[in-house]
Structure 1
């Protein structure tokens, strides 16, 4: 260590931003995992998920606990929750609750100078120290990127750092610099968890997200948004995991589309989901997947709790 005293930091970093800003893609890259649900479709994330990322550099030993959160379309939406479904209320409470529970916010925004108004709203509500990540810079010309950077630099007294990058093609050096920036601003603290743990999220919830991700990849239109997954049972043996789950849909017509002609769609979807679960569990998985219609499930408190959405109002 060349005589340097080793500083140890640890803390929680909530990843906040609009739907489809690239939050989950960035987290998977930073954590070298595929645990976060990633989709080209917006509003895929519905509940918090934690990722434990150890980081070391000369003189610093840090453990960063990232929290993925549902996308926030409008910062002031919290004032209009009475008009939202109970699922949407839950999602917004998850996002805003994560801001209150963290040490630092990682504010992720698609690089666009016209989106500065959203950041202004964020500043009015969030008083937490925060780092801004300007994502998807590969989609901008050099002049557009400079204009975008300038629009945020006008607010530099409010944030800790402004970091432009592209999460889908993040280089090792960029990953190191972002983690280093965050780690240096975390409070002095021993590690909160064993570094061998990738996530504090329950494995059944991770399996649920893997199945939901498969629905987003295989199905189109409204089905990914009007369906969810309920894990009925997880039985883990030495060499195999048995997962019994059901996809909950809002209408019988959606159920028919998920099953497909002669069951081809649900079979294909189940195979994809099983492979994802095997990649996560690092062992063989047997997945039993059924489809069930529950009308109005997104506004049914009892059903939402059964699907893992706790503390529903």
Structure 2
């Protein structure tokens, strides 16, 4: 039988549900999620093989307008990573949020004007719409913004119409041998996923209190055959942020560690011993060399 395989970029402005959609399609968590915009910072690849068809999804950081408070090196990196993912792609899923269209959606639309691959518009969170009758006229109006290969209203969280979206993608993947073994689900290492899971728990617990000047670096990842021993360094930019992260009598950091450890045990199917440390490293988020050393590298 003829095999099909291709790269599918999932793009959109921050916080429209790109990572939630990829996790839903794959049936497990590969990309971290939170209610805070710009949770995803890297390109994260998710691989799904069904029979003779292999889908290689690329989850991307949200494309955003760089304002004065969002013009640090890390913001530039995230925009570059999202744009970089559109090179040599076979299909694009452009996610927008219900009946909201913003200036940042226009930024994404403009970028897609330079992409020759077919673009499928996925209108997410339609389950949140109180007035469902408002959806059809709005779908009609945004369909005129460019020629989309298909327009599919979905709920990434609940799975509504996601199989229909996958069917639209499958029709547009080229004939090709599969690039990955059929049981592989991501190109990311367990070490990378461990760092992301710690960062997710920090953002979920402290998203409103702790700004984006926080990252996680794995200093130890060792398997002794029975237990994974993981040491993670959480880096912030100011002493006040460190104090918030540790919390009263260390309660906050313990809670973050407990949640991250349980999630890692589910993800890695192994017992995990997790140690967390917090360090102040001033200006890391606006230092290109520091970012590269911390793994923020398009290569």
TM-score computed with the length of structure 1 as normaliser: 0.88
Which ranges in structure 1 are unaligned for 5 or more consecutive residues? Answer: 1-5
- Contact 2:64–2:79 under 8 Å retained in 1: no
How far residue 152 of structure 1 moved from its aligned partner, in angstroms, is: 2.6
State which of 7, 10, 21 in structure 2 corresponds to 1:12.
Answer: 7
Question: Which residue pairs with 2:24 in the alignment?
Answer: 29
How far residue 236 of structure 1 moved from its aligned partner, in angstroms, is: 1.9
Q: Deviations over 1:82-127 (max 9, x none)?
A: x932111211111000011322111111122544745642443433
Quote the Cα distance in structure 2 between the aligned partners of 1:230 and 1:144: 45
Quote the Cα distance in structure 2 between the aligned partners of 1:31 and 1:139: 23
Q: Secondary structure at the match of 2:49?
A: strand
Which ranges in structure 2 are unaligned for 5 or more consecutive residues? Answer: none
State which of 168, 173, 176 in structure 1 corresponds to 2:163.
Answer: 176
1:139 aligned onto 2:134:
no
Name the CA shift for 1:42/1:184 in 2 (closer, same or farther; >3 Å). Answer: same
Q: Deviations over 1:196-227 (max 9, x none)?
A: 11111122111111011000111132515121
Question: Which residue pairs with 1:44 in the alignment?
Answer: 39
Q: Deviations over 1:28-82 (max 9, x none)?
A: 10000112111111111001110001124xxxx21001011000124xx6xx99x
Query: What is the Cα-based RMSD across aligned positions, in Å?
Result: 2.1
Q: Secondary structure at the match of 1:241?
A: strand
Question: Which residue pairs with 2:253 in the alignment?
Answer: 266
1:104-253 correspondence runs (5 A) = 104-112=91-99, 114-115=101-102, 117=106, 120-140=109-129, 141-155=131-145, 158-171=147-160, 174-253=161-240
Q: Secondary structure at the match of 1:7?
A: coil
Quote the Cα distance in structure 2 between the aligned partners of 1:119 and 1:309: 22
Name the CA shift for 1:39/1:304 in 2 (closer, same or farther; >3 Å). Answer: same
Quote the Cα distance in structure 1 between the aligned partners of 2:5 and 2:248: 52
Quote the Cα distance in structure 2 between the aligned partners of 1:206 and 1:134: 28
Q: Secondary structure at the match of 1:149?
A: helix
Question: Which residue pairs with 1:71 in the alignment?
Answer: 62
Structure with the higher helix share, 1 or 2: 1
- Contact 2:3–2:177 under 8 Å retained in 1: yes
Matched residue pairs, number? 295
